[in-house]
Amino acid sequence: MPKLGQIAEKIRSKNAGPFWLTVDIFCGTEAAYEKVVKGLTTHAVAETFGVNSQEIKRFDIADLNIVKLSLPRPHIQGSIFDPDMHGASWAALLAELPLNN
Amino acid sequence: MTTRVLIPSGALGLNYDPVALERGLAMKPDIIAIDGGSTDSGPAYLGRGVSKYSRASTKIEWQGLMEARAKAGVPLVIGTSGTCGTDSAVEWMLDITREIAANLGQSIKIAVLRCSQNPQDIGEFYANGLITPLPAAPDISRQSIEACNNIVALAGTEQIQAAIETGADIIIAGRTTDTAIIAALPIMQGESAGAAWHGAKIGECGALCATNPQSGVVIIEFDGDSFTVIPLADGAHASPHTVSAHMLYENSDPFILYEPGGYLDVTNAKYTAIDETRVRVTGSNWVPSDRYTVKLEGARGAGFQCVLITLLRDAHYVKNASTWANDIIEKCRDKVGARLGLDPNDYEIELRLMGKNASFGALETHTSKPHEIGVLAIVTAQSNEVAMEIGQFLNPYLLHQPLTRAEEQPTFAFPFSPAEISRGQTYEFCLNHVLELSDPMSAFSIQEVNIA
């Protein structure tokens, strides 16, 4: 199974304020976008980040070939167990997620 | 009516392209607006009420903008002064401004917008039901609110407009929304609120909405129901894709943006290329709300920290690092209980294995075998003295702890002496709430300062 990072052009994660993390998957082409929309389940994303599916806001934006996912941060920004103040490294974890065909 | 807002960069302290800034001045902007902060660097800046960026960098960049303002003869506004926008950070920015004005011989009128809140007042507002949580807000109580070191309310356009109306040359604002400093003047001059807020969101990070994002300088030209994005540096081009994609940036919802007094809806926005560099946007919609609310940010002390670093390079220890680390934590906790008499819940000891799973902890999926591991030991306790004391308990384990008693005593690599590094107080964000106001100015104040 291909990994998300092999299909998408770029994956970016950032803080959306101290309590939310937002992940932008730039697919690059319509073909890649279709593969990502079909192959990436919100459930798999929830498992990857250790949150409930219901807490994830998902936007499949066909006009831009982008899938955007926003979720409560795995740790509140700057709390003592937060490993990443700016939240940018989480993209790498999602990039390694296998996509369903 | 046309209103041009010149935005030198995404934040004061990130530098800007001086050639592009000159081009912007030649286009006769109506205002120069720059952001001075963000929560993105964490809770300590708000907790301490200090700036993230160096004073020297801030002063050099601010001087360039004060000179640009004098040349253009239009107001210059900075939002979220000194990273966190507390009154102390505003005072810091005002001092820098005074020094520069004296150096340049400028006579200026400054409007200072203060946004700090008294935690006791906010506690009382909470008790009176005026504070409501946003999604994923932490639990709060009157007591936890009153324990905050600093609380700020995020000003919107109304408060910035009040500052502009004083006729000030320079507006030094405390915490504002990133967009408010850009949207304020266009709305005041009768441009549509939808275009104003949308253009402000696109422009708030400077040229990040274009190619060559580090160049900083952009103009957003507001024109009734539409706006145009004009990047000004060489090699900076805006396209419908770069502009519309910027709505995603650090934003949990790419179509809806909540602001004081309502929300922006860009679901039906149209992005059209005028040429290779400029993009025109239409169809942005502003939906006013019934209640006027401002967002609150608060930070409070969350203990004191001591950190230590050691390196594992011996293959046996690298391979068994987790077992080794868990054993150390257990032994050290026993010692803390026995010798300091602390309750196990009164402190934390964590050993982060860098090279193994320090980024994601239990969520890490990768299992490749590192050849060395950096061990970041983090102690959090209720006072600096206790944190350092526990750090000293940890020290010999991090240096010499064998995996089993049968092994010869190992010695690991400490990069520093002393090994214990005091981090001082650590802070946590503790509010993700909005405060309802009957009058937008009731949580804010404006002071006029004349410098002759």
Provide the pLDDT for residue A100: 83
| Dist CA B371 CA B271 (whole Å) | 51
CB pair distance less than 8 Å for B40 and A86 = yes
Question: Which residue in this structure is represented by tokens 């441009």?
Answer: B191
Provide the pLDDT for residue B391: 98
CB pair distance less than 8 Å for B41 and A85 = yes
> Who among B303, B363, B428 is closest to A48 (CB)?
B363
Other CB atoms closer than 10 Å to residue B276's CB: what's the count? 8
CB pair distance less than 8 Å for A86 and B358 = no
How far is CA B401 from each of CA B332, B351, B375, B395, B406, rounded to the nearest angstrom? 11, 14, 13, 10, 12
Q: How confident is the model at residue B50 (pLDDT cuts 50, 70, 90)?
A: very high
Per-residue pLDDT tens for B410-448? Answer: 999 999 999 999 999 999 999 999 999 999 999 999 999
Q: Is the pLDDT of residue A101 over 80?
A: no
Q: Does A1 touch chain B (CB under 8 A)?
A: no
Provide the chain B residues 4-63 that lie in CB contact (below 8 A) with chain A: 39-44
* pTM score, whole prediction: 0.96
The phi, psi pair for B206, rounded to 5°, reads 65, -135
* Residue A67 C-alpha, separation from nearest chain B C-alpha, in angstroms: 10
Provide the pLDDT for residue B367: 83
Provide the pLDDT for residue B212: 79
Provide the pLDDT for residue B99: 98
Mean pLDDT confidence for B302-326 = 97
Provide the pLDDT for residue B437: 98
Mean pLDDT confidence for A69-84 = 96
Q: How far is the first Cα of chain B from the last one, in angstroms, to the nearest whole number? A: 34
Q: What is the ipTM metric for this complex?
A: 0.94
Who contacts A76 (Cβ-Cβ below 8 Å, separation ≥6)? A18, A19, A82, B138, B428, B429
Provide the pLDDT for residue A1: 87
Mean pLDDT confidence for A32-47 = 97
Provide the pLDDT for residue B319: 96
Q: Is the pLDDT of residue B208 over 90?
A: no
Q: How many CA atoms lie within 13 A of A24 on its CB side?
A: 22
